[in-house]
Chain A
């Protein structure tokens, strides 16, 4: 049914949609191709495993609509990793019309390994030989026609970044997809294995498994011989009479293992590579010795034994400075913008409930969401650059040893570092960590890195109760304590709530590439938009709730008449739900040396840490805008602290540990896609804060401080 040039396709063909599954190794340029085909906004990564969500997009070509689904980037299709199972199941269950496998032409052997597995599935496959320009620069000449013949599937040379070969690819996708052209070559696994594969295939055929499972019987046979847990379990569950076959396969496996000296799955994998190596030997020629390799050269510097760590630290410092120093100005503009907006609203709305809701609840809440935007934009600009350029893997390579000691991955370093600036982007930066357990552990301990919003609280308290010389050391001590706690908690989590082996550290160091401005901007924009949309709504809601707790119910009006404005505010706070909760849980906080005023401030601190300072201003009748010095004096003289630095220190420790702010909780919810981990975060940080503060206060008291 091929469309010869000039013949008019019939109407029903013209209407058809071809469903395309886009597959490929990480770093093969799959995402670039996806963007180039669909024009969709999606991140272009240079780091394994960026695409975890399913992304889709449409494009029209010569009257056919191509519906393209971006599969996770994987190296293989084993049942051991979630991404691989997702990719495989999509092809089996949703039966796309064609699988387009993007292959890095300059790294052909390893990339074709995934392709052989799609070929085994006996589904229509088109191989995109991406980055042929790079391969040529490396002196590789690839005979695509011969390669196509040897692999039995169409092979299209392409350069996704420039669009070279795009048209030919679209044509081939439409042709193969419409006619469902299957691979013409079956990969053979050698004389020892083939009889067993044939034997199992026949048995699969006999019970008609292939019809019921809807997949090639040979593929099923291979998977059974590989002892593929997904397939075996699925078979057991769905087809009870298959158990005989499974038993038979177990015997065959044992036999093969004894004859060939290794597990059949290893032998099968080895044969796949053998098949690929054979094809490459014929179709690829090295026309000139590899020229000067830029990647090798850069690596001798950035992963150098002596220079590697200083370069890494400099890169991290640069990133931190960029995110928080460059972000400071726009953050200031956003803050003052929202203040001005609040002032405007106050001026134009009658004082009362509505004014308070709009000014303090909504405008304050939206401001609270947007104030993080500059940091997030800059952070993801930096991360996208580090990832797309290829440096991320090197950074992980350089620091992995340090991080592996606490059971984490080299890539956990960046979120931890960012945590000193702001925990919200730190939690978002965890998405660069591939392994789920490592990712969650990092996400759970990153809040212990003291963020910049906690600093005003430390400055207020340390300034009030310690000498100027001591204050700095105390604050530094609190920061350091946070790091130590993070290390301890990471160790504990990896052995309790998130135990077990993580994905082995088998990390590709991809060639360095210059990130494209388009790729960086798409990535930056996408992450920020996600934050505003997903986390923003929760943060806004939480802000309104906290506002409500701090302002309702109002104290009796007759009480307020004689009071000054500041006294009235204090009465408001005392009378509010927050104040009442503060009083109610005071007994729990009493062993830590906290009275209801501290407790209420801490409750307000759930909204954001800097709110603690303004709440204390209100509770000590100085108004929200109280100068630090006057508030410090008030604190020193208040019965709350009895002038004891120990109480202040305990409070600093508590502020360090307990939930940084609701924005973090909302972000964790968004990143983990559920309430389990954010609730766990609240629980563990509050519990840990209480216990550690108790120890600090009680031991300090016993020592006479």
Chain B
């Protein structure tokens, strides 16, 4: 694995972000995003190219190598996790959190990172943690340690029916096909339902991984029409609700 300086990691992270946002990574955009001059970017890119994490030809968009994208994703994920910890748990304001995370992300090891993520998840989802626990914590930053009656405080906790937050790294980005508005595209992730319906849907080419574009709803709002594998198909919303997609636009 390439051993990269903190600055270089910042470059990778920015490029990864740009790639997600715009699809391509250009020198001009990197310079703008990091508030540095174009020549500095060019020289950083040359260094990165030498390390084998990107391929770079002047005046062409920058592309990650497989190794480079893996490292960039790692830096980005660490940054996100730290930001989440700093804003949601330590309740710092987002701007401060952002700056802190930028400095911390280069030194946090992967084991620490995993544990941090688990802690965030645990606090948010455990009924003993959760929203109002974090609310109580908020008071402590200024007022110092809590001296209240723990028993009455605990008995006042309402245990929610289900976790107040969606799982942070699960299916949060998935929606069912009936929720995908006309004009939007998506990738099929999962087919629900069972038996003949499920099989019929798959036989028509609606398989996980295939792209589709919702074209329109019928005048009365149901059924819906979408384009898949180059042809047009319609499904009732009831059936579309059994197909999970990840929106791509």
Residues of A with Cβ closer than 8 Å to B?
75-76, 78, 80, 106-110, 113, 265-266, 269-270, 273, 295, 299-300, 303-306, 308-309, 393, 397-402, 404, 501, 503-510
Assess whether B220 is interfacial by the CB under 8 Å rule. Answer: yes
**B198 to A, closest residue via Cβ:** A266
Looking at A78, A109, A113, A506, the one whose CB has the most chain B CB atoms below 10 A away is: A506
A106 to B219, CA, bound (A): 28
A270 to B219, CA, bound (A): 33
Are A505 and B207 closer than 8 Å at their CB atoms?
no
Q: In the complex, which of the residues A273, A295, A504, A507 contacts B205, with contact meaning CB atoms closer than 8 Å?
A: A273
A240 to B247, CA, bound (A): 50
**B193 to A, closest residue via Cβ:** A504
Shortest beta-carbon distance from B31 to chain A in Å: 33
* Chain A proximity mask over B223-236: 1 for CB below 8 Å, otherwise 0: 10100011111111
Q: What band does the interface of chain B fall in when counting residues whose beta carbon is under 8 Å from A?
A: 20 to 34
Are B235 and A270 closer than 8 Å at their CB atoms?
no
Q: In the complex, which of the residues B195, B196, B221, B234 contacts A505, with contact meaning CB atoms closer than 8 Å?
A: B234
Q: In the complex, which of the residues A80, A106, A309, A509 contacts B225, with contact meaning CB atoms closer than 8 Å?
A: A509
Assess whether B201 is interfacial by the CB under 8 Å rule. Answer: yes
Are A505 and B235 closer than 8 Å at their CB atoms?
yes
A and B contact pairs by CB, cutoff 8 A, 17 listed? A75-B203, A78-B203, A106-B230, A107-B230, A110-B229, A266-B198, A269-B207, A273-B207, A299-B225, A300-B216, A397-B223, A397-B225, A398-B220, A400-B223, A401-B222, A504-B197, A505-B234
Chain B contacts for A402, CB-based, 8 A: 220
Q: In the complex, which of the residues B199, B205, B222, B234 contacts A113, with contact meaning CB atoms closer than 8 Å?
A: B205
* Contact A505-B236, Cβ < 8 Å, known A269-B207, A305-B217, A308-B218: yes
Shortest beta-carbon distance from A105 to chain B in Å: 11
Shortest beta-carbon distance from B215 to chain A in Å: 8
* Contact A110-B231, Cβ < 8 Å, known A265-B199, A400-B223, A401-B221: yes
Are B239 and A75 closer than 8 Å at their CB atoms?
no
Chain A contacts for B196, CB-based, 8 A: 78, 80, 501, 503-504
Known: A273-B210, A401-B220, A505-B236. 11 other contacts (CB 8 A): A110-B229, A110-B231, A273-B207, A295-B232, A299-B215, A309-B220, A397-B223, A400-B223, A504-B197, A506-B233, A509-B234
A507 to B226, CA, bound (A): 11
A366 to B210, CA, bound (A): 58
A368 to B233, CA, bound (A): 43
Which B residues, 176 to 192, have Cβ-Cβ distances below 8 Å to chain A? Answer: 191
Residues of B with Cβ closer than 8 Å to A?
191, 195-205, 207-208, 210, 215-223, 225, 229-236, 239
* Contact A303-B216, Cβ < 8 Å, known A110-B205, A508-B231: yes
**A505 to B, closest residue via Cβ:** B236
* Contact A303-B205, Cβ < 8 Å, known A504-B196, A504-B200: no
Are B205 and A109 closer than 8 Å at their CB atoms?
yes
Shortest beta-carbon distance from B236 to chain A in Å: 5
Chain B contacts for A265, CB-based, 8 A: 199
Chain B contacts for A269, CB-based, 8 A: 199, 202-203, 207
* Contact A78-B223, Cβ < 8 Å, known A303-B216, A507-B234, A508-B233: no
Shortest beta-carbon distance from A612 to chain B in Å: 39
A399 to B198, CA, bound (A): 24
A401 to B236, CA, bound (A): 8
Chain B contacts for A266, CB-based, 8 A: 191, 198-199, 202
Are B217 and A505 closer than 8 Å at their CB atoms?
no
Chain B contacts for A404, CB-based, 8 A: 222, 236
Are A506 and B225 closer than 8 Å at their CB atoms?
no
Shortest beta-carbon distance from B232 to chain A in Å: 4
A143 to B123, CA, bound (A): 59
**A401 to B, closest residue via Cβ:** B220
Chain A contacts for B236, CB-based, 8 A: 400, 404, 504-505
Are A401 and B218 closer than 8 Å at their CB atoms?
yes
Looking at A308, A397, A501, the one whose CB has the most chain B CB atoms below 10 A away is: A397
A530 to B109, CA, bound (A): 80
**A305 to B, closest residue via Cβ:** B219
A75 to B222, CA, bound (A): 24
Chain B contacts for A505, CB-based, 8 A: 223, 234-236, 239
A109 to B231, CA, bound (A): 10
A303 to B199, CA, bound (A): 28
Chain A contacts for B204, CB-based, 8 A: 75, 110, 506, 508
Chain A contacts for B239, CB-based, 8 A: 504-506
A76 to B203, CA, bound (A): 6
Are A509 and B232 closer than 8 Å at their CB atoms?
yes
Chain B contacts for A398, CB-based, 8 A: 218-220
* Contact A508-B219, Cβ < 8 Å, known A80-B199, A113-B205, A269-B207: no
Shortest beta-carbon distance from A70 to chain B in Å: 21
Shortest beta-carbon distance from B221 to chain A in Å: 7
Q: In the complex, which of the residues B195, B201, B215, B231 contacts A506, with contact meaning CB atoms closer than 8 Å?
A: B201
Shortest beta-carbon distance from B207 to chain A in Å: 5
Chain A contacts for B234, CB-based, 8 A: 393, 397, 505-509
Are A506 and B200 closer than 8 Å at their CB atoms?
yes
**B194 to A, closest residue via Cβ:** A263
A537 to B201, CA, bound (A): 43
Chain B contacts for A106, CB-based, 8 A: 230
